[in-house]
Amino acid sequence: MVLVKVEGVAVLPHDGTPVIVLREAAGHRRWMIITVGRPEARALVAAQEHISHDRADTLELLVALVDVFGRNVERVEIVALRDDQFYAEVVFDAGVRVSARPSDAVAIALLVEVPVLVADTVLQEAGRAHGVVADDEDGAAENDQVTEFREFLDVVSPEDFDDLPPG
């Protein structure tokens, strides 16, 4: 498993599709993107910005329930990529694993501040599938798509996903 950093949520410029942008925390510094829906993008941005709601949203409710029942989320793992679908698991104490959509799993990781890990084979395959490559030796991305994502991450907010066309 490879530790990744959640760089943020971006919108693909060519079609307006929201994506999660992940980057390998050390080593090759590979990038990975996962397509998500608009509601998931809003939830991810809110989790990353630690925006709390007057009334708990679904993910905040799940985190509260985990806490009430005395469990701890230890980490999130993105474990597979099959037929262009990513699969994730939320890993709790005592080795309990729950399958989850990557968008939900990553948002939970952001809310409870636990690591996000990606299977090395998934990171490799995702990079090939999306044409996203590793940073060069100076840490500069070799791909224009990554540069566009980073620029967008500086100004994104949950409201940016309200007016996207249905997807």
For 71-126, the pLDDT digits (tens) are 999 999 999 999 989 999 999 998 899 999 999 999 999 999 999 999 999 988 88
The pLDDT assigned to 165 comes to 44
In angstroms, the CA 76 to CA 119 distance is 11
End-to-end CA distance of the chain: 31
**Phi then psi dihedrals of residue 138, to 5 deg:** -90, 0
- What percentage of the chain reaches a pLDDT higher than 70? 76
Q: Report which residue type is found at 131.
A: G
Domains of the chain: residue spans and CATH: 2-156 (3.10.690.10)
The pLDDT assigned to 71 comes to 94
**DSSP, res 32:** E
**Phi then psi dihedrals of residue 42, to 5 deg:** -60, -45
pLDDT at 152 > cutoff 80? no
**DSSP, res 158:** G
The pLDDT assigned to 53 comes to 80
How many degrees, rounded to 5, is the angle at CA 69 between CA 110 and CA 92? 50
